[in-house]
Structures are given as structure tokens and as C-alpha cells.
Structure 1
Amino acid sequence: REIARRQRHLLPPSISPEGELVKRLVGPVSIPDGFDLCRELIEAVRGERLDLTPNADSGWYDYQLHALVPLIAPDRALESARLELSPSYRCYLEEVVRGIIALSRETHVKQLEIPVVGAGLPEPGIVLEIAPQLSVEPFPSYFRGRAASYRFIREELTKIFGAPALREIHRLTPTGSAARDLSTELAEMEELFDGAAACSEDELGMGLSQAAGADPELGELARSGRARLRAWRRDIEDDPDLGVDARMMVPVFYDLERQQIKVWVFLGWSERPLDIAYARAPRASILDDAGHPRTDVHVEFKGTRRRVPYPVMAEVYVTRLLDRSELRAHCDRWQSAEAILSHLE
């Protein structure tokens, strides 16, 4: 409000790429924590969503920013064929760009517009807060791929053993044979991942039309998959596989020069915070029963934070492979990931 009150001009202020970008990205909605306009500007130029090429109305400031494009997107520069840039040098270039942008703006700040963006005080009336809801990871193509992998192994085993025999086979677990037969388990896993894909597509706004096209069979798969996912979530505490200690070490190659084995070590699960927010605020219309806009309802799009589990895995050299029991005892002894890895032989 102070900035808005102090901006007085005899002539209209000059617009700037960053000013127009922040108005487009944020506008009147709340600015999320951690929002970095300079970073957004750099990414927009790299992604060719923002063109800094001067036009007939451009001034010196525009030309100064345009000169930075080769540093922002060096792979598009004419000299790129003769350069191979390391990641650290690319990071260095980005820091240089950020500094030059700030210094350039400072020399023109008296004439540049200072946009006023972000949510102000809500209008009187009803405030409707809407936050994105993600119940699964937002990658339906991954879930489709996992479903396809279970479908593949089920079909191959059916070819080898036959459907009746597959219904008689039970998977072996650390505590004995699984309760359900292998055919049923594989079909359920396929259906579960199809359900996760359908759920993810729903939450991303892809919908059945994009996900399954006009194929009624795929539509039915999505519906049955959603039901399977809901049932699994409801009974998740009873899933015996989720309580299994999966810590293990698996070799991936032997290094002749070092005379050591490169292994992948799975150390278990941890948690980390995950912030979920709308990159662009959706358009929302609140209508009354007659279909007229409600002027007494103010919509605010919020972000949300969750704690999500993630697997802890490391790739290290060892001279001795540990089986599951040995690795678990080693982990229980040393506790932290750093100590566990540093004390491997």
C-alpha cells in the first residue's frame, strides 16, 4: 500500500519484463513463500516463454536485459558449438545474471513501474479457500507403467503355467506363503496402479477424455482401479507387505581397478515436507441458483504442506557383501545413514 501510494508520475511509468512477468504469474492472488521473481525470469527466458528481444518501443533497459540472453541460455548462443560448460560454471553464470539484472534495474528504477501484486484484504463476505489436493504422486504415466509391468508378468506366467495353475501358486514371504494366490495378487496390483493413475489424472485435471480417450474398456479399468485404490487405502494398516523390513544391499558391478564391489544399499524410509501450490491460479466462478455470479464470495487459492515418505538409498563401494540379516544388524548398530555407510567394509 505504501508503494502504491508513493507512485506518482507525470508520465506513465515504463514497463519492464520482470514487472509484466510478476503480474502474469501472481496478479491479485497471494504470493507463495519462497517466490523468486529473478529466478522465474531466468527460467521463463530459458524455457522460451519470455522473449527479451527489443522492439520499436524498447529502451536502453530492454537492450541491457536482452544482452544477458546468451548467459541465461548459453546452449542457444551462436558460440555454443565451441563451448562445453560445466554445471558449476552454469551456476556461476546464473549468479552473474542475477547481479547484472539487479544493478541494471537500480539505474532505471525512477522510471520503471513497481507493480503492486499479491492478495490484499479479502472483500467482505464469504471467503472460500481452495488448496490443491494430491492423494498420489502427480505422475500418472509412472503408475500406468507399473500397471503394465504387472500385466506383463501375469500374462507371461499364465502362458507358462496356465491360468488354473497360477491360481494354485502362492507367493513366498518372509513369514510364509501369501494368503491370496499369485494370479489374484498380480491382478490386484495391476488394478491398484491403474487406479492410482486414474486418480492422479483426475487431480491434475486431465480427466477420462485425455486419459482413456473414447475406449470404454480403459474407462472401466479406471473406475475399477479407483475402487481398488480406495479399498487399499481403507485397509492399508492390514497390508502385510508394508510392514516388511526391506533394508538390503545389492551388487551392481565389480571394479577391477579398485578391486571393490559397487552396491546399492536400501536403508529404509524417512520423511520430508512437501509444499503443494498452484503454479497458476485456476479460474473460479461462483454462481447462485439462478446462474448469476455471486459478488459476496471471495475465492482464495492456498498452498498446502504435507510430510511424505521417501526411500533412503545410497550407491557405495564395498569389499564385502552383506546379506539382509547382516545389513539390518549393521544398520541397527550404527543408526544414522552417514554412520551406516561410513562403517561398511
Structure 2
Amino acid sequence: MITLGIESSCDETSCGILSDGDNVLSNVILTQEIHSEFGGVVPEIASREHNKFIYEIVEKALNNAKVRMDDIDLIGITNGPGLIGALMVGIAFAKGLAMNYKKPVIAVNHIEGHILANFIVSNIKLPAVVMMVSGGHTELILMKDFGRYHVLGRTIDDAAGEAFDKVARILGLGYPGGPKIEKLAEKGDENYLKLPIAIRKELNFSFSGIKTAVMYHYRELSEKDRELHRADIAASIQKAIAENLLYKVEKAVGTSKPESLILSGGVAANSYIRNKFEKFSSEIGVDFYAPPLKLCTDNGIMVAKAAYENYIRGTATYNLNPVPNLKLIEV
């Protein structure tokens, strides 16, 4: 069975083609670099860029996979969460393909796609505690089985990736902030600035306080000290975000007794955070999984995987309306 997945929820236009649920035939990703000059994603520009390049991306994915649309058995398309205009571009294109080639098309939850990206390359024992971390989402999830999720906690304000972006802006590093913070942090002292763990009694997250603490500290520094301690601040915020994530993960693992710990989403590409999670998992004797770096960012192959798993299990969603604030269905 060959599944074609299309992703257009934010600033990546992507198409992935998957055979039999685990054989990646192609995965083409176009990141919209135009947003860097604005310091963040501009929704209207994102929609326009998706519309400009989506045909080219899908065509390239088909060519790379050495298949034609006639060979495709199923189409998956992200219908949320995400930017409504961006979602609409992908949905309209997927509908057109489905109608023209008479193929079934199903909606995919973007968050579930990120989770299931891990299952393309690994045979993971369940139940698993999943730490989903990206620019728009920070959710702690208990995955009991495919399609069976329980959200243990989520951010009440900024997502972890959003905190990286905002601190990068404060430090004058530009967008996207996560990779820039990580690179600068390699030269810094992570113990320079003590930042708190928020909401200790719950499994929900809060990163706005950390960002605000950095902002006030940075404002108080002279120009000379700003330059002197920029790398130290980057290392400190990276450490603080990792500690906040792991504090809640440790509590969740203690009560849920999972077989595995999964890190997913764009922030999973951060090597410092990956290493901290891997070390923690080793210490408690739980298997750890994080996707290959190519599958951390938004991509079409994760959409294809989620579409395939839902289709073969009879849990597919055929309502293709865009839902910007779509939540995981908890079972």
C-alpha cells in the first residue's frame, strides 16, 4: 500500500511517500526562509508560499519515489492544528488530487503525525510517555496504543520552541531561534543564569516566565556585558527548557510506568535536549526514542504514516475542514 502525505500547517511545504507503513520512498521538504526577515512566521506569506510551491513539491516527491499518482492508494493531509490559511492550501490541493485520480483522502492531526514519525524507523513498545515539543506545541502525552492517547499536560502560554524563538529575538540572533540558540550555547556557561521550573505541582508547562526573566536580565546589562554573556544566556535558557521538560516527564513516568519514552517535534532536533532525555531514560531503564533529524521538522512522511495507521485500523477521519486549534482525540 502506497500512501502520499502532504504537510502545510505552518512554514514547511512537504510531501512524503510511504510504502506499507514503514518504507520511505521519498520525503521532500521546503522550508520558507522568507520569514527570517520578519522575525517569525507571517501567516499570509506562509499561505502564499505554500500555494506557489506545493505542486512542485508533490511532483518532486513522486519523481523521487519513482511512482505516479496512479500508483498511490491513499492520500493523507494535515487538517490541524496550524495556520488556517496554510492548512487550506494543503487541503485544497489534496482534495484536487483525490478527485482527479479517484483516491481516498483522509485528515491527519499534525501532533499525531509528529508522534508517529518515530514509528517509521523504530519498533517501539507501548505504552509510551511522549514529549511533543515544537514551536507551536508542548504536550506531554501517554500513548497507550495507536490512536489511543491521553494528554497529561500541555503549555498554558508559550510553547518551548516559541520560548527559544523569543529569547533568540531578545539576543538579536534572528529567526528561527532554536538552532541559533543551540549553536551559540555551545560556547556558553549553562549555569550563568538560574531560571526556575514553573508549575511544579502540575504536569502543565509554562515558559513565558523564563523568557521574561531573560528579557529583564538582558535589559540590565551594558552593551559590553551583553556581548560578553550572550552565549551564557543561550546556554542557560537551553538548560532551563530541558530541565522544565524533564521535570514533568519524570513525574509522568513515575505514575504511568511506560515501556518507552518518546521525544518528538521540531525541538527534538536539539542535540542537548536529546542527550538529556537519553541520559534520563538510561538512568531509569526505559527505552528512549527520538526521530531522525529529518523527521523532527514538519514533513510529509509523518502525515503519510499517520494516514496509513488510521486507515488500516478503521479510525480514519474524512472531514477535511481545517481546524487551527485541533486537539488530539483522547481515548
TM-score band w.r.t. shorter chain: under 0.3
Q: Which has the higher contact order (CA 8 A, sep 6+)?
A: 2
What is the TM-score normalised by the length of structure 2? 0.25
Larger radius of gyration: 1
